[in-house]
Amino acid sequence: LIKESSHVVVYTGAGISTAAKLPDYRGPEGVWTKRDRCLVNHSKMDIEHALPTLSHMALAKLYENNLIHHVVSTNVDGLHLRSGLPKEGLSELHGNCYLETCKKCGTDYLRGYDCTKEGSCSVENPDPHNTGRVCDADDCDGFLYDSIINFGEELPTSEYDKAEAHSRKGDLAIVVGTSMMVTPACLLPGIIYRDNGGKMIIQNLQKTKFDHKAEMVVRGYCDDIWNVVMQELGLEINFTTPSGNEVPEYVNEVDQIYPQKVAEMVEKVAGFNDAKEKA
């Protein structure tokens, strides 16, 4: 489907970053799953220590080879940019923890640290997004604000418009590691399979309420699946980020388990399609 499509848009959620030891939300050990069961979330991973996963690096390579054309993400961990995916190839709907912006002149600052750690909310400046730093652009002394979108806040217009524009051009939506429960992000793939007459693939550990709309549903961990996909496409994944960090090769024994993984995926897809036809 990837090779047959002319404009592929990938939609990623927290599940793509779990191999980086960052928690997801609706997975078996997810933040909201544990909250619903009155369990404590013990994840202590500092987001600054997280590295892009095999899946992040695979998507960057696919973009580089013009096999995917845009990534829309609801993650704030900045791992897509750190993998080498260029800013023009990415829409970060919920912000980026490394990005802060001057509201006075509009200058963006992409930092090497988490901008949300030390805010400077005060009586004089009560905005909780204020990072406490000041713009150093010429003739500007405006306050800097993080780019994170909290519950109830509006999405950044520029990022959403870019995501929607690519969705309207798309003929294949690939949904990766998300339960598709947060609007309006979860509605964007529908532009492709409903409005454009295109197709959708959902790759997630759990069921989603959009599974019946998908051409294909694949259950499994992101890194396992994308390792197989890259082998099928004959592409090597670069395990060194542009900044020189070595990304852990999450599935080191993939060559030994590759035939089994392909067989499992084919069997799951066939079972899903049979159930879909009977329904």
Catalytic residue positions, numbered: 94
User: For helices 254-278 and 222-233, what crossing angle results, to 10°?
Assistant: 100
* 178 neighbors 204 (Cβ within 8 angstroms): yes
Would you state the structure tokens that stand for residue 15, as one six-digit string?
């599940």
Tokens 């793509």, located at residue: 16
* 14 neighbors 81 (Cβ within 8 angstroms): no
Ramachandran area for residue 244 (φ above 0: left; ψ -120 to 50: alpha; else beta): left
* 110 neighbors 129 (Cβ within 8 angstroms): no
Would you state the structure tokens that stand for residue 242, as one six-digit string?
């542009």
* 133 neighbors 100 (Cβ within 8 angstroms): yes
Of 21, 168, 144, nearest to 91 by C-alpha is 168
Contacts 24+ apart (CB under 8 A), 240-245: 241/51, 241/52, 241/57, 241/82, 241/83, 241/84, 242/82, 242/84, 243/82, 245/51, 245/52, 245/82
